[in-house]
Structure 1
Amino acid sequence: MRLKKYILLLAIVPLIAFSAHKYYLSLTQIEYNVKNKSVEIIINVFIDDLDTTLTKAHNKPFKLNSKREIKNVDNYFFDYLKKHVVFKIDGKAVNYKFIGKEYDTDVVFFYLEIENIKSIQEIEVVNTLLIKDFPDQKNLIKAKVNNKHKSALLTKKEQVAHFTYK
């Protein structure tokens, strides 16, 4: 009987240890659309982490992806994104439009667009999403311009990605 308990304990401890470890990651996908002369951006963020950050910042519960979600949440999202995700194209700061968002299980997808971009030689991305509240946060940036793929992993220490397409 003792042996069974010991074996059960050995089997459970790694599972508990593994599930207690949480990872913090966002993904920003950037693609230049030559035909539309626009840059299309999709940002994926874990809902619970974003909910925590927005709740702390605004001192009220957001209840993201629930029936009790705060009204006008898209305005809060866009304001947060504008503060924490900044783009420069060919050395010039550019603004993006918030197209919308979509929830999928535990992730929210943000759809953004930068219009009137005739060509791209260089992209700079500053991404500080969730870093203030989650120091271990990592923000993966993937960019595709003229069929050339580039990527960077941003952290609290390294918050800027530079991609050159000359």
Structure 2
Amino acid sequence: MKSLKKLLVVLVFPLLAFTAAHKFYVSVTNVNYSEKDKALQITSRIFIDDLDKLLLERYNIKAQLATDEEPPLADEYLEKYLRSKFVVEVNGSNASYDYIGKKYDADVVIFYIEIPNVDLATLKSVQIENEVLTDLFDEQQNVVHLKLGNDKKSFVLVKSRTKGMLKL
């Protein structure tokens, strides 16, 4: 009976190790052209727990995002991080963007960014460089969807390939 229990533990334990929830490291960014505003409007969805870990590891801030304990400084550091890891080029030149802010939706943070004064008629290319969280998680995947007028393109950016471009 004792050896049967040991055998069960030996056989079942490895199976349990594979049934544990697998953590996915992914963000989703949408870039759309607004004819009304003449601007590129960008939303980026990133998991709250990944950003909590980022703020702790990079800036030693115990952020506790989306709780009453979130420090006011958290938003400033999130913007600082985004500006260093998320770069947009329009027609081959770096485009400065306005960080509009963020909101929480279930377990994700939605960031709002806008590049004003973009004329679709003169738009030839948009390149996105997204290194968000690739410095923290080797498995991080940043999915980007671009929709500019009738042109659409999607790509998955990873640590070894952090840039994607849509040529019009």
One fold, TM greater than 0.5? yes
Unaligned runs of 5+ in 1: none
Q: Give 5+ residue unaligned stretches, structure 2.
A: none
The equivalent of 2:128 in structure 1 is: 125
TM-score (norm. length: structure 1):
0.88
Identity over aligned residues, as a percent?
34
- How far the C-alpha of 1:66 sits from its partner, in A, is 1.1
Cα pair distance change 1:44/1:18, threshold 3 Å? farther
Give me the CA root mean square deviation.
Answer: 1.9
8 A contact 2:46–2:110 mirrored in 1:
yes
**Structure 1's 158 and 112: CA in aligned 2 closer, same or farther, altered over 3 A?**
same
What is the CA–CA distance in structure 2 between the aligned matches of 1:15 and 1:109, rounded to whole Å? Answer: 34
Aligned residues: 158
> Take 1:154 and 1:19, find their aligned partners in 2: how far apart are those partners?
26
Q: Per-residue deviation at 1:20?
A: 3.2
8 Å CA contact 2:61, 2:74 repeated in 1: no
Query: Residues 30-109 of structure 1 correspond to what in structure 2 (within 5 A)?
Result: 30-109=31-110
AA at the equivalent of 1:41 = I
Distance 2:88 2:94 in 1: 6
Distance of aligned partners of 1:60 and 1:41 in 2 relative to their CA distance in 1, 3 Å threshold: same
Displacement of 1:19 in angstroms is 3.5
CA spacing shift, 1:14–1:117, aligned 2, 3 Å: farther
How big is each residue's C-alpha offset from its partner over 1:97-118, in whole Å with a ceiling of 9 and x where there is no partner? 1111111111000011000011
Query: Who is 2:160 aligned against?
Result: 157
1:109 partner letter: I
* Structure whose alpha-carbon radius of gyration is higher: 2
**TM-score normalized with structure 2 length:** 0.87
